Amino acid sequence: MSLRYLVVAIAAQASAQLTGRGFPDCVNGPLSNNTVCDTSAEPLARATALIAAFTLQEKLNNTGSTSPGVPRLGLPAYTWWQEALHGVASSPGVNFSDSGDYSYATSFPQPILMGAAFDDELIRDVATVVSTEARAFNNDQRAGLDFWTPNINPFKDPRWGRGQETPGEDPFHLSSYVHALIDGLQGGYDPKYKRIMATCKHFTGYDMESWNGNLRYQWDAHINSQDLVEYYMPSFQSCARDSNVAAFMCSYNSLNGRPTCADPYLLQTVLREHWGWTEEQQWVTSDCDAVQNIYLPRGYNDTREAAVAQALIAGTDVDCGTYFQEFLPGAYAQGLFDISVLDQALVRQYSGLVRVGYFDGPSVPYRNLTFSDVNTQASQALALKAAEEGIALLKNDGALPMTIGANMTIGLVGDWANATTQMQGNYAGIAPYLHGPYYAANQTGAKVAIANVPGGQGDPTTDNWRKAWTVANQSDQLFYIGGIDNTVELEGNDRVTIAWTGAQLDMISRLAELKPGLVVVQMGAGSLDSSAILNNPNISALLWAGYPGQDGGTAIFNIITGKTAPAGRLPTTMYPANYIAQVPMTDMSLRPSTNNPGRTYQWYDKAVLPFGTGLHYTNFTASVATPTSRYGSANGSTTYSIESLTTGCNETYMDRCPFRTFAVDVTNTGSVCSDYVTLGYLTGSFGPTPYPLKRLVAYTRLHDVQAGSSQTANLVLDLASLSRVADNGDRVLYPGDYALMIDNAPLAMVNFTLTGEAYTLDHWPQPPEPVYQATDYFVGGFGSTYGDEIMVNVTSTML
């Protein structure tokens, strides 16, 4: 997606207003006798009939994201580009009103913070609000019906500028999260009428913007099948195979030499064939101008016509950009593709619109939604709840929760102290309000002193720091609210350091000297090495609050004062500052090697704060009840034969077959009512070496566990949970010793054993040989033969 989408949005809105929006007239319009208007026909037949009525030129015209429709047929223009990452968002197809109705939409926290809630029901609820509001905007002709969300690439490298858009680093977590999200966005997994069309992006291997001369538009990710299936693919498999998402987006990066938007292995063999994502109402869009990039800067094809033909044939159905519209005509004249391929792309697009009721008139569900359904009190409460559930308590010497009384002066220092739009992160809409920390502090009734310093990221100027010392001296209780924001982690720019800036550390340490008991609130998505804060005895507490959305300040102060107890967990590893010097961003491997200390909590054990970290205001214990299993070899036995596990399985995709449900009894032994996230990790000696340290296989969030009470968390494990991935990408059940651990500590553990022969649950389609583009070259950077190549734009020789 383009950094400049706001500018583009304005242009596209103007264009859309010129060309008209709204729905085709299936009653009195020219299409009324076309099968597309026959609500009793199958979507595929309806779209096929529509496209059959197009002339060749009309077909070619409707291949880009700004689609003119067919005026002759009364088919309106349509913009294939709405955004809704955490609420209906500013984008080419979304038109907020300047004031009054439709001038705002609920602005939820960024996915990174919602991921930290580890609460799939919350995600489903949030997504349902988003799709409800999207439909209301659509009904007012202020948005289309496809939304280019979610970004579901795993947040592997702490430098990634777009990690904030994702729920975190763990592939199981992402898969589970996105399954709930699509349910909410689309209104079920196969409804007659989808609420909206969701778009899983960016397929695949995309998690770098700009690192050391490698730019996303031209970089080639080298990923072996094992890493691909184990780490990069699960969230997309969840989208396509398990959640029936309407659309996919191919990515800017190429994969093993092939631009993803021109790669039939990815778009046909894996996505459509292996995952059975074959309904014609499902379509693939390119990331914006990823089709152009096939030609330049990649130079993958010698002509623009060859590039667009290759993308279309590979399975890219919509070009975000104009390359299809401009060069498919020439490509067709040159005989580079058959008309049936173009028809197929158009049928996919328009059958997608059939499935959202585009041709079915006002009786379609959701057509009655209006602005009164936008940002309701319930939605406002949900936005606050989402932020509160995600906030993670990382250090607490007992100072939290604290009473803030009207007789106190509290001091807020830091760049986020008076945050407004900062709280939304990127891909945001217009919020109804933005209650930041300063606003929320004032609601406590205390006097509030504020100093919005040190200012800037990495660019210290002490000139205006004195106000911070004044605030510290005035305050009974001091808060530092800072970290990072979209000035350093953003689309197009990866971070260059994962340390707190020297300026912030300097200020924090002085504030802690001046006012011991300092509470630090760390904002932003990416990893920060907080060792100094954790080790400083004058700092009482550290909270992580990500990008908390429209009511973020309220959420932070509700946690601080104990109105809400914290139960969020870090959805990513917080690495030591020198981690980024140990592995290039371009190294896509997960496992440790000579030049890679290992990536994510599964392979790296020197975290400053590990994945899953999150303290409470109370204490929990957990125990795992005696199992009941239809596959156990004997009563409560801890040994299972692979044969019995697999022969009883009738699923098409065998990894979906159940293994066991573990009932975890969680007891709140402290004195504060609190949510509790039950994390289930699997570890053990089975399958290919090296073994991961552990991996998440199940989670569930218990709500409001009363002090002194217990609740049961049911952790459902299937055969996928037990499986490992072989070198060739096959998903295999291996004999060996397994342990399920509850929580990071762990609080409880169950051991069991699988016996018998290894069994392949999923045979991964083998990729073609990597082809490296003739015009690319890789430079073994700086004396290393390892993965830190710089891919240089060599297209300057191509004009």
Residues 248 to 307: which contact a copy of itself by CB under 8 A?
288-289, 292-293, 295-298
By C-beta, is 218 or 225 nearer to a copy of itself? 218
57 binds a copy of itself (CB under 8 A): no
* CA pair distance 428, 94, nearest whole angstrom: 11
Is residue 294 within 8 A of residue 254, CB to CB? The reply is no
The window from 2-10, 328-336, 384-392, 763-771 that contacts a copy of itself (CB under 8 A) reads 2-10
Q: Which of 191, 213, 365, 517 binds a copy of itself (CB under 8 A)?
A: 213
Instruction: Determine which residue in the list 41, 408, 490, 577 makes contact with a copy of itself, applying CB under 8 A.
Output: 577
Q: What x-and-dash track marks residues 339-378 binding a copy of itself by CB under 8 A? A: ----------------------------------------
Per-residue DSSP letter, 239: I
Residue 792 touches a copy of itself, criterion: CB under 8 A: yes
Which among 220, 263, 287, 551 is annotated as catalytic? 287
Identified binder of a copy of itself from the candidate list 100, 362, 636, 783, rule CB under 8 A: 783
Segment contacting a copy of itself by CB under 8 A, of 111-119, 322-330, 431-439, 730-738? 322-330
Instruction: Determine, following the binding rule CB under 8 A, whether residue 6 of this chain makes contact with a copy of itself.
Output: no
Stretch that binds a copy of itself, among 53-61, 575-583, 695-703, 766-774 (CB under 8 A): 575-583
* CB of 92 or CB of 167, closer to a copy of itself: 92
Cβ of 409: how many Cβ atoms within 10 Å? 14
For a copy of itself, which stretch binds (CB under 8 A), given 181-189, 503-511, 549-557, 705-713? 503-511
DSSP summary character for residue 501 = P
The rounded distance, in Å, linking the Cα atoms of 302 and 711 is: 63
The answer to whether 334 contacts a copy of itself (rule: CB under 8 A) is no
We find the least distance from the C-beta atom of residue 689 to a copy of itself, in angstroms, to be 23
Q: What is the dihedral of CA 631, 634, 638, 642, to 10 degrees?
A: -40
d(CA 295, CA 799): 11
Footprint of a copy of itself on 375-404 (CB under 8 A): none
State how far the Cα of 573 lies from the Cα of 163, in Å rounded to an integer. Answer: 12
584 binds a copy of itself (CB under 8 A): yes
Among 57, 462, 628, 751, which residue sits at the site for a copy of itself (rule: CB under 8 A)? 462
CB atoms within 10 A of CB 797: 7
Binding of residue 737 to a copy of itself (CB under 8 A): no
Our CB check for a copy of itself shows the closer of 394 and 750 to be 394
CB nearer to a copy of itself: give 529 or 718: 529
Query: Residues 650 to 679: which contact a copy of itself by CB under 8 A?
Result: none
CB 75 within 8 A of CB 69: yes
With contacts defined by CB under 8 A, name the span among 477-485, 561-569, 749-757, 778-786 that binds a copy of itself. 778-786
The β-bridge relationship of strands 731-733 and 214-215 is unpaired
Amino acid identity, residue 704?
D
d(CA 683, CA 705): 28
CB of 70 to a copy of itself, least distance (A): 20
Q: Give CA separation, 351 vs 129, 156, 286, 379, in Å.
A: 25, 35, 18, 31
Q: Which is nearer to a copy of itself, 333 or 581 (CB)?
A: 581
Nearest-10 Cα torsion for 76, 80, 83, 89: -30
Which sign, positive or negative, has the C-alpha torsion 465, 466, 467, 472?
positive
CB closer to a copy of itself, 236 vs 295: 295
Chain residues 473-492 in contact with a copy of itself, contact rule CB under 8 A: 492
Of these, 3, 399, 514, 693, which contacts a copy of itself (CB under 8 A)?
3
Residue 224 as a binder of a copy of itself (CB under 8 A): the answer is no
Give min distance, CB of 530 to a copy of itself, in A: 7
Q: Which of 158, 455, 598, 614 binds a copy of itself (CB under 8 A)?
A: 455
Check: CB of residue 113 under 8 Å from CB of residue 546: yes
To 5 degrees, how large is the angle CA 525–CA 529–CA 535?
A: 130
Q: How far is CA 590 from the centre of its chain?
A: 19
Minimum CB–partner distance for residue 296 and a copy of itself (Å): 4
CA-to-CA separations, 578 to 296, 483, 624, 636, 783, in angstroms, rounded: 35, 18, 39, 47, 21
- Alpha-carbon distance of 38 to 316, in angstroms, equals 28
- Number of residues in contact with a copy of itself under rule CB under 8 A: 90
Nearest-angstrom CA–CA distance, 626 and 405: 48
Q: Which two tokens stand for residue 711?
A: 């609740």
Active site residue 287: yes
Among 76, 163, 321, 549, binds a copy of itself (CB under 8 A): 321
Interaction pattern, residues 61-80, with a copy of itself; x per rule: CB under 8 A: ----xx--------------
Question: Binding of a copy of itself at residue 465 (CB under 8 A)?
Answer: yes
Q: Based on the shown chain and the rule CB under 8 A, indicate whether residue 550 belongs to the binding site for a copy of itself.
A: no
Q: Cβ of residue 212: shortest distance to a copy of itself, in angstroms?
A: 5
DSSP secondary structure string, 257-287?
A: TEEGGG-HIIIIIIIIIIS----TT-EEEES
Nearest distance in Å: CB 208, a copy of itself: 12
Return the number of the residue (10 or 52) whose C-beta is nearest a copy of itself: 10
**Quick one: which of 34, 128, 149, 210 contacts a copy of itself (CB under 8 A)?**
210
Angle between helices 339-355 and 323-333 (to 10 degrees): 150
The only residue of 458, 658, 735, 736 in contact with a copy of itself, by rule CB under 8 A: 458
Report the SS3 class of residue 298: coil
* Reduced 3-state DSSP string for 661-728: EEEEEEEECCCCCEEEEEEEEEEEEECCCCCCCCEEEEEEEEEEECCCCEEEEEEEEEHHHHCEECCC
Residues tagged active-site: 287
